[in-house]
Amino acid sequence: ARALTHFLAFASSRSSMAASMAAMSTSASGAAMDGEWDEAAGVWRGNRAVDAGVEVPDPLVIFGYGSLCWRPEPSFGEGASYPCRVSGWGRFFAQRSTDHRGTPKSPGLVATMLSDAQLEAIGLREAGVPPSSTIGMGYEIATESAEGVLADLDFREKGGYTREVVLVQPLAGGEPVKALLYSATPDNPNFDKTMLDPDAVRDDSLFR
C-alpha cells in the first residue's frame, strides 16, 4: 500500500510538471510563446500568434493596417478609433495565407508590416534612407474587453504573425500612443520574399 501511495504521488507530480510546461508555452492571453510551426496547416501550433515577450500596452490600443481598417473585430466594442501613422514600418503583400485567403495546398496572399530594420537585414532596404511610413487605424480597447480582444486577434493572426509594439501618431494631432500590431516577420515560414521584388508583379505564376 505504501509503494502504491508513493507511485501515485510520483505520477501526480509528473502530471503537474507537464501541465506547467505546457502552460509556459503560451502567454496569459493564449498567444504562442515558442513559435512552433504546423507545416500541414500552415499556421503556428496552438492556432495562436506568437507573443515574442512584448509588453502589451495598457490601456490597450490596436493598430490595424489591413482588413482591420474596414472590418474591426466585433470584440473591439465601441471604443474610440482614429486614423494614425507609424514611422519606421512599411506595409507589404508578402505573406502567404492558408486560413484567410487560401488553403494549405494553395496559399493566398495577405498583408504584413515590416520594420525598416527587418528590410535592411534581408537586403531589401539601404541604411540611411528616410524612414518608411504607414497610415492605419488605431482602436482603443476598454480594459474589461482587453483579454477577449487579445484572444480573438491571437487566433485571427495564427498564420505566421507575431505581436509587436509600436508608437503611432494620431493624424488629428496629440501625443504618440503605444499600440499593438501583428506582423508576419521575414523568418516565419509563410513569408514570401519574392513578393518584395519589383519584378514579381510581372510573373503571374506567383499568383496562381
* Strand partners of residue 139: 62, 81
Does 73 participate in catalysis according to the annotation? no
Q: Which of 64, 82, 58, 53 is nearest to 152 (CA)?
A: 64
Nearest-Å Rg of the Cα atoms of the chain is: 20
Note the residue count of the chain: 208
Task: Name 71's Cβ contacts closer than 8 Å, sequence gap at least 6.
Answer: none
Q: Are 99 and 40 in contact (CB under 8 A)?
A: no
- The one catalytic residue among 55, 147, 157, 164: 157
For 114, half-sphere exposure in the C-beta direction (CA atoms, 13 angstrom radius) is: 24
Catalytic residues: 157
